[in-house]
Amino acid sequence: MAKAKTVFFCKECGYESSKWLGQCPGCRQWDTFVEEPVIRKGVSATYSHKELKDPVLLSGVKAEAETRISSNIGELDRVLGGGIVPASLVLVGGDPGIGKSTLLLQMCRELVGQGKKVLYISGEESKGQIKMRADRLGAFSGELLLLCETNLDLIEAVVHKHKPDIIVIDSIQTMFKEDITSAPGSVGQVREATGALMRLAKGTGTTIFIIGHVTKEGMVAGPRVLEHMVDTVLYFEGDNYASYRVLRAVKNRFGSTNEIGVFEMQNSGLAEVKNPSEYMLNGRPEGEPGSVVSSAIEGTRPILVEVQALISRTNFNMPRRTAAGTDYNRVNLLMAVLEKRLGIQMGDCDAYVNVAGGMRITEPALDLAIITAIISSYRNIAINPNTIVFGEVGLTGEIRAVNMADYRVAEAAKMGFELCILPKANVGNIKVASKIKLVGVRNIQEVMDYIKENR
């Protein structure tokens, strides 16, 4: 009996090879190849010229009016770009237990309340388990269709029969097609299952949400080509020790990318956090050295966060450097700038920098706040609690302009801050009519002088 032909696929990028390779030539990752059987395709038919479609001119295509379905969950609509787009395929990923199924079940409750026909397909839970979770979320004002099935061929038949408006697949790693011999969750099954769901969404006009498990590196399990096939990719992020959750859009064909929605996990499900700045600054110490408030931009939303620094004498030959919530290498770079440009010698000091609240901010606008917090802790000088600081710091100590400065200042004014230290180049572009005082600085020496004068 002839041996079934197999090929090797990269779990990260989907690169295909006839033999096993230690390093993937596509994504340069090590030990990512898995063996999968070849999917036999039918022989392509020969088409006549009458059956071939001719290309059309772009100028002759009429743009259709964009129609979106509101989920009645403001934070979810924000991340999706204004609502749910019909005939779209949305991938929702995140760590186990972070709230993916809970959020989508809450979305289903709101949609059936609007009279939409919603089908919830689960390959991991029974109908009784879904019912228990639904009862915890609250009463449903409409009827939700439930289906516990993993065979995609049977699922397609149910979809064509009932014609739902919205479908939720929980999860894509449990789905399989009978014509593929590999196990559910393998590279081939995940890729073919996603392709089948994409054709189903585009062919029927149904919006499909698929839940994807993540690997220990935080990426959706399966090949990276899975993310390229869908229209929107949403990631659920959150600290295991914090109650808030961040829903981030890393890909969106119908809206802005890197947009975020903030939720708080409660006993009755996920509650929207409409003012993340107030939530992140809750419990902030006032009048303590090493604490500074900065403004970060997540997508199109300004969020105020507290940056903390602790500089203390070390008892070891090698001082420690720790960064939580921001880039560790960036903190080392900024400390080197301080030592070179201001003469602050921290070679015998441990340095700890933290973005309070569990948020992870990597944008350069946080540089000036980190610099200010380090100086405040090193000199033991408390920063005025009504002060906000943002700006990018260069290697020569200059303070460079940042984008969306007026949005940052407006958010600070709304939260009651009275003073804003920002790059000199941004001061002339601020059009916000408020009583907040703007202090423009050109280099870190001016920041140091201002802190000393207003201690």
Are residue 233 and residue 285 in the same domain, yes or no? no
**Among 69-78, 133-142, 291-300, 430-439, which is the least confidently predicted range?**
430-439
pLDDT, tens digit, 9 for 90 and up, residues 43-90? 455 555 556 778 889 888 887 767 899 999 999 999 998 899 999 999
Asked whether residue 54 is assigned to any structural domain, the reply reads: no
What φ, ψ does residue 414 adopt, rounded to 5°?
-65, -30
In sequence order, the β-bridge partners of residue 234 are: 92, 249
Are residue 138 and residue 172 in the same domain, yes or no? yes
With beta carbons less than 8 A apart as the criterion, state whether 388 and 417 touch. yes
- CATH code at position 369: 3.30.230.10
Asked whether residue 44 is assigned to any structural domain, the reply reads: no
- The pTM for the full model equals 0.79
Asked whether residue 42 is assigned to any structural domain, the reply reads: no
Say whether 95 counts as a known binding-site residue.
yes
What does each C-alpha distance from 423 to 66, 109, 150, 412 come to in angstroms?
39, 47, 56, 16
When pLDDT is averaged across residues 338-364 and rounded to a whole number, the result is 91
Say whether 358 counts as a known binding-site residue.
no
- % of the chain at pLDDT higher than 90: 53
Report the pLDDT value the prediction gives residue 150, as an integer from 0 to 100.
93
The residues near 275 (Cβ < 8 Å, ≥ 6 apart) are: none
Say whether 60 counts as a known binding-site residue.
no
Are residue 259 and residue 283 in the same domain, yes or no? no
pLDDT at 422 over 60: yes
Sign of CA dihedral 41, 44, 45, 47: positive
pLDDT, tens digit, 9 for 90 and up, residues 196-251? 999 999 999 999 999 987 765 555 555 566 788 899 999 888 776 677 888 988 89
Identify which of 303, 298, 306 has the alpha carbon closest to the alpha carbon of residue 325. 306
When pLDDT is averaged across residues 138-151 and rounded to a whole number, the result is 91
Report the pLDDT value the prediction gives residue 232, as an integer from 0 to 100.
93
Indicate the number of domains in the chain: 3
Distance between CA atoms of residues 227 and 110, nearest Å? 27
Domain boundary among 215, 239, 274: 274
One-letter amino acid at 117 equals: K
**Among 181-185, 253-257, 357-361, 401-405, which is the least confidently predicted range?**
181-185
Work out the pLDDT band at 180, boundaries 50, 70, 90: confident
Say whether 428 counts as a known binding-site residue.
no
Distance between CA atoms of residues 275 and 20, nearest Å? 51
Are residue 296 and residue 250 in the same domain, yes or no? no
Are residue 110 and residue 129 in the same domain, yes or no? yes
| Run of H or E including 415 | none
Asked whether residue 225 is assigned to any structural domain, the reply reads: yes
Are residue 305 and residue 396 in the same domain, yes or no? yes
Strands (E), 291-357: 291-298, 301-313, 321-324, 349-355
Are residue 323 and residue 410 in the same domain, yes or no? yes
Report the pLDDT value the prediction gives residue 1, as an integer from 0 to 100.
46
Asked whether residue 51 is assigned to any structural domain, the reply reads: no
Are residue 304 and residue 221 in the same domain, yes or no? no
Asked whether residue 52 is assigned to any structural domain, the reply reads: no
Tokens, residue 405: 């400065």
- % of the chain at pLDDT higher than 70: 92
The verdict on whether omega for the bond into residue 59 sits within 30 degrees of 0, i.e. cis, is no
Say whether 97 counts as a known binding-site residue.
yes
Report the pLDDT value the prediction gives residue 368, as an integer from 0 to 100.
97
Say whether 434 counts as a known binding-site residue.
no
Asked whether residue 262 is assigned to any structural domain, the reply reads: yes
The residues near 381 (Cβ < 8 Å, ≥ 6 apart) are: 289, 375, 451, 452, 455
With beta carbons less than 8 A apart as the criterion, state whether 376 and 292 touch. yes
Domain boundary among 274, 296, 331: 274
pLDDT at 131 over 80: yes
Are residue 250 and residue 288 in the same domain, yes or no? no
Coil, strand, or helix at residue 107? helix
Asked whether residue 381 is assigned to any structural domain, the reply reads: yes
Residue 164 DSSP code: -
Are residue 195 and residue 224 in the same domain, yes or no? yes
Are residue 318 and residue 348 in the same domain, yes or no? yes
Work out the pLDDT band at 30, boundaries 50, 70, 90: confident
Domain interval for residue 445: 279-453
Domain boundary among 227, 246, 274: 274
Tokens, residue 371: 């610099």
Identify which of 351, 373, 365, 363 has the alpha carbon closest to the alpha carbon of residue 399. 365
Tokens, residue 444: 């870190």
Report the pLDDT value the prediction gives residue 41, as an integer from 0 to 100.
52
Distance between CA atoms of residues 100 and 169, nearest Å? 11
Residue 178 DSSP code: T
Are residue 304 and residue 252 in the same domain, yes or no? no
Tokens, residue 153: 């061929």
- CATH code at position 243: 3.40.50.300
